[in-house]
Amino acid sequence: MGPLGSVLRVRKEKVDGGKVKFSDLQPITIHFDGTIDKRNVDGNREYTMDLFRAHPGDIVVAKIDLKNGAVGIIPPDWANAVVTNHFAVYEPDHSKLISEYLRLLIQATFFKAHLWRNKVGAEGRKEVKLGFFEAQLIPLPPLPTQRKIVAAWEAARKSAAATAAKIEQLERKIESCFLADLGLKAPQQAALPKAFAVRWKDLLRWSVSYNQLVQTGMDLSRSKYPLAEIGSQVEMIQYGTSDKANTSGNGTAVIRMNNLVNGDLDLHKLKHVRLSDAETKKLTLLDGDILFNRTNSKELVGKCAVFHEQGEYVFASYLIRVRMRAALADPDFIAYALNSPIGRQQIDAMSRQIIGQANVNSEELRSLQVPIPPLTVQRQIVERVAERRAEIARLKADAKACADTAKAEVEAMILGIKPV
- At 124 the pLDDT is 78
99 DSSP assignment: H
Cβ distance 297 to 357 under 8 Å?
yes
Segments in 81-124 forming alpha helices (H): 99-107, 109-117
Q: Region 112-139: what's the mean pLDDT?
A: 92
Show Cβ contacts of residue 381 under 8 Å, excluding neighbours closer than 6 positions: 178, 181, 182, 333, 373
Query: Does residue 352 have a pLDDT over 90?
Result: no
CA distance 58 to 55: 5
- At 330 the pLDDT is 97
- At 30 the pLDDT is 94
Q: How many other CB atoms are found less than 10 A from the CB of residue 176?
A: 14
Cβ distance 59 to 73 under 8 Å?
yes
pLDDT band at 12 (very low <50, low <70, confident <90, very high): very high
Query: Does residue 110 have a pLDDT over 70?
Result: yes
User: pLDDT by residue (tens digit) across 238-291?
Assistant: 999 999 999 999 999 999 999 999 889 999 889 999 999 999 999 999 999 999
Q: pTM of the prediction?
A: 0.74
The reply to whether 2-140 and 185-222+226-372 are identical in fold is: yes
CA distance 91 to 75: 13
pLDDT band at 206 (very low <50, low <70, confident <90, very high): low
Segments in 223-308 forming alpha helices (H): 277-283
- Please work out, in degrees rounded to the nearest 5, the angle formed at the alpha carbon of residue 233 by the alpha carbons of 361 and 295: 20
Query: Among 3.90.230.10, 3.40.250.10, 3.90.220.20, 3.10.105.10, what is the CATH number of 2-140?
Result: 3.90.220.20
Amino acid at 155: A
- At 209 the pLDDT is 66
**Closest by alpha carbon to 51, among 92, 10, 74, 20?**
20
Q: Region 343-351: what's the mean pLDDT?
A: 84
Report the share of the chain in percent with pLDDT over 70.
Answer: 94
Q: Which CATH architecture has domain 185-222+226-372?
A: Alpha-Beta Complex (3.90)
Query: Does residue 87 have a pLDDT over 90?
Result: yes
Query: Does residue 405 have a pLDDT over 70?
Result: yes
pLDDT band at 42 (very low <50, low <70, confident <90, very high): confident
Cβ distance 362 to 239 under 8 Å?
yes
Domain layout of the chain by residue ranges: 2-140, 142-166+379-420, 185-222+226-372
CA distance 115 to 119: 7
- At 178 the pLDDT is 94
72 DSSP assignment: E
